[in-house]
Chains A and B, each alone.
Chain A
Amino acid sequence: MKRADFETCAYCPKLCRHVCPVAVGTARESTTPTAMMTGALLALDGIVTPAEGYASAALCTSCGACTEVCLLDQPVRDLLAEARGAWGPRVESLLGTVEGTGTWVAVECDERRWSEALAKKRGGAVARFRTTDHLGARLLDHPARFATHASALRDRLAGRTVIVSCHACERVAREAGLVHEHLSKLQPPESADWVHQPCHGPRIDGAPLPGATACCGAAEPFASVHPEAAAEVARWWERALAGASLATPDTRCGVALRKAGVALRDPVDALLASFA
């Protein structure tokens, strides 16, 4: 990691804070991209511990909104991912097993079971793949270890089409080279007052919530490392919606937003409702 890359942001007058979902949602100075990069810089300088540097870098949701508005084109997302990779804890991923038969495999990453409903919709068998860590999404910050993990995933899911419903699983599937499809393409959510366009993953038709930031706080590893801040970001959406309903193509975002009290509609809801 080059110190100067982090310095540029550390000396910046926080010119991207207004688009950062974490800075806006939590209303803290310590969660601006400037502060995240400063935390990393302090860790590089040995002023704070690597664990603290990791915690700072893990505040980033990797939505990339900061880089979009930065006239210096600072690759904040990539630099913070590099910092997380360098200082983060060792992460293991438990590879689940494929249950059932069928060339399609539904990746169920929250409490809901939807492979049977998808099978009915498809009119053919759909296997199930349970994951509690979004197919090992946190390994994405550790490129070498992710390569090994991706190889194991490819072995386990060879010859199948993986159906994912969230951005974290989708990104792992994409980076691992799995043949995959996003559930929202097969089953869009029911319509709502506004739509949520996730910072990662597919988009859906509809009017986005005016003034909304890019991320709802569900991104990993942010949500796992900073659950309190992630909940604050989701609550920002709840306040901004003021009782209006929201449709999202992404179930991971859906879980976080629903927990914050948002009247939410996502593809799994729609799928389960249509075969209830």
Chain B
Amino acid sequence: MDVDALVRTGMRVSQAPLERDAYRRDLWPRDTLRLARDRTRPPSPDVVVWPCTEGQVAAALGWAHDVGAVVVPYGGGSGVCGGAAGRPRSIVVDTKRFDRIGPVDPVARTVEVGAGVLGAHLESALARQGWTTGHSPSSIMCSTVGGYVAARSAGQFSSRYGTFDDILLGAEVVTPSGTKALGEWATGDEDLLPLVSGSEGGLGVVTRTLLRVAPLPARRWLRGYAFPDVLEAEDAMRRIMQADLWPSVLRLYDPIDTRIAHRTRVSEGASVLSRLRDLVAPISGALSALPLALPELVNRLADSLPGECVLIVGFDDDDAAAERALPLLARGRDLGAGPGEHWYAHRHDVSYKLIPIFVQGHFADTMEVASSWANLERLHIAVRDAIGRHAFVMAHLSHAYREGCSIYFSFVGRGTTDVYDAAWRDALDAVRVAGGTVTHHHGAGQLKRDAAAREIGAAFRLWSAAKARLDPGAIMNPGMPFGDREQRGEEPPVLGEGPVFAIDRTSLLASVDPSSPAIDGALAAEGYRLRYRPDRPLLASLRSLRRRDHDVRTTPLYGVQARFPDGLRVRLGHAPRSACGPDLRWELLRTAAIEMVEVAIEPVS
């Protein structure tokens, strides 16, 4: 490929084999497994460029269009779903030279940050000024701000500071159709931020962001509680969130994860595998040498072991909230500050623990799903059983909301990509059947794009329309995040009589007709009211909302059910949150006939 035109823009351009080699893949464990077992790797891109201006990005996109190449935006390459991968006849646009961290605006509580800034560097720079975004994913050492936008990331303190959707207030994106200012930087009425966020490079290259910041907490109250079983602890989590206490940390480990997470110390050289052997050795004898050979049996044995589960609770600078949480934790056994502080000190260790598993020829992966509180147990059992047929599996609950929670499964397996693929196929099917979302914060990538497309069903046309408008030549990271064609989902149910179609009293959610003026009365008759109380009819209010109008504590909208002009009906959105590509609910609100919205409610008393 002739790259003279790229070189003339002044940006760094490379076609060197070892430079291109480093952009073959992100951190999708399937690729690591292939590298470890078969020594095979995905194809490398043809060219890599490192622009540092929007003009240079535009030049790269123009060049790709002219030569018939596709564009793969690349930040830290820390994605775990294969969303950023080299491919034949591609140009990788590395965003890490957009590395500026602006001064904090202490009044607006915002900071302007280049898309290429590593999370660890951002938080260090903000901490020196007494601020934080509160975004602390376990990948913080190796992931960029642009990646957080691309996959709609969530960090370990999301229950207080929100997911990256809540933190991201504005962005600039270079698309094949031009450079667009988004969110608070948008100049017109239309805001493309919800479309670009989560698009996994499928619409353009994000170069700059405007982020919400909060004062760096002076004190972090951390404590551990042991519960006899997951359901008891889950109930305490729900009550804490629904009491509006907004803890920064609320993490519940199932009995197996409790044993492993709280006993494993990487510094002593112990691996998850060796802990797994320790775990099953007393009861399984010879099996301990090969704990992954019979995953179903090992999972059953592990389940049968007596064990408590540990709930880690943390509050930032809020002693009053911590005090109010204590009665809600009364059914747990107070373990003191130790487990919480241990978790905090080791909160990034898990990534290290997985490496020796691949060196030994096995695989490890994680899956983050989510659902409402009322549906959480069903989802938990379904996914655990599905993965458990192929791999040893454990889970913890984190990213808690008033309305629901994410479940984070970790699994370790033995075998080739056939076993790995089977585990994922069954797990994704189980999520669909159990009514959860297939991704809470990892994004879709190659791994989940088909499942993500099934999850959005007929709303794929909204994505196609955005793609046709912003990337008419379809050169931007093709196939991400939904694949190339619509996957027909299940037709949403026909609604009964409104204006309140259903009330989920456990999750504090109501499905209502947003066009009806009688919502308040109907909810009041049931003892509830809308948590988000609009100053105009609900549908009109939701359609006019802007990003800064809401945050993690005031989420105005969960599900949306609508009918397109051609009669096709669709339901979008899983409480509490889905990161299946961009948040298309706002586009759906603007373009379709809305039949129902799912919103948060609270008891009147």
Contact = CB atoms under 8 A, between A and B. Distances in A.
Interface residues of A, number: 35
Interface of A is mostly: loop
Contact of B77 (A10, A14, A15, A38): A14
Contacts of A30: 16, 18-19, 21-22
Contacts of B128: 210-211
Interface string A240-266: 000000000000000000000000000
A4 interface: yes
Nearest to B120: A18
A45 interface: yes
Interface string A52-67: 1001100000000000
B365 to A, nearest CB: 12
B118 A18 contact: yes
A28 B94 contact: yes
Interface in B62-99: 74, 76-78, 94, 96-97, 99
Contacts of A71: 266-267, 349, 352
Contacts of B77: 14, 29
Interface size bucket, B side?
35 or more
Given A39-B18, A210-B128, A13 B139 contact: yes
Given A29-B77, A39-B18, A16 B141 contact: yes
Contact of A52 (B18, B76, B118): B18
Interface in B91-148: 94, 96-97, 99, 116, 118, 120-121, 124-125, 128, 139, 141-142
Contacts of A11: 32, 35-36, 355, 358-359
B161 interface: no
A164 to B, nearest CB: 33
A17 B141 contact: yes
Contacts of B27: 13-14
Contacts of A35: 18, 21-22
Nearest to A239: B99
B21 A13 contact: no
B23 A29 contact: yes
Most buried by B among A15, A72, A210: A15
A58 to B, nearest CB: 11
A24 B141 CA distance: 12
Contact of A8 (B96, B141, B359): B359
A12 B139 CA distance: 12
Interface in B326-373: 348-349, 351-352, 355-356, 358-359
B21 A42 contact: yes
B517 interface: no
B17 A52 contact: yes
B219 interface: no
Contacts of B348: 15
A251 to B, nearest CB: 28
Given A15-B142, A52-B17, A27 B36 contact: no
A92 to B, nearest CB: 26
B39 to A, nearest CB: 6
B50 interface: yes
A56 B18 contact: yes
Given A27-B116, A38-B22, A17 B39 contact: no
28 contacts: A7-B36, A7-B359, A10-B35, A11-B355, A11-B358, A13-B78, A13-B351, A14-B27, A15-B351, A15-B352, A16-B141, A17-B141, A18-B142, A27-B96, A29-B23, A29-B77, A35-B18, A39-B18, A47-B39, A48-B17, A52-B17, A55-B18, A69-B141, A71-B266, A71-B267, A71-B349, A210-B125, A211-B125
Interface of A: 4, 7-8, 10-18, 24, 27-30, 32, 35, 38-39, 42, 45, 47-48, 52, 55-56, 69-73, 210-211
Interface of B: 16-19, 21-23, 27, 32, 35-36, 39, 48, 50, 74, 76-78, 94, 96-97, 99, 116, 118, 120-121, 124-125, 128, 139, 141-142, 266-267, 348-349, 351-352, 355-356, 358-359
In the A-B complex, the 6 residue pairs with the smallest Cβ-Cβ separation, listed nearest first, are A27-B96, A29-B22, A30-B22, A14-B142, A71-B352, A18-B120
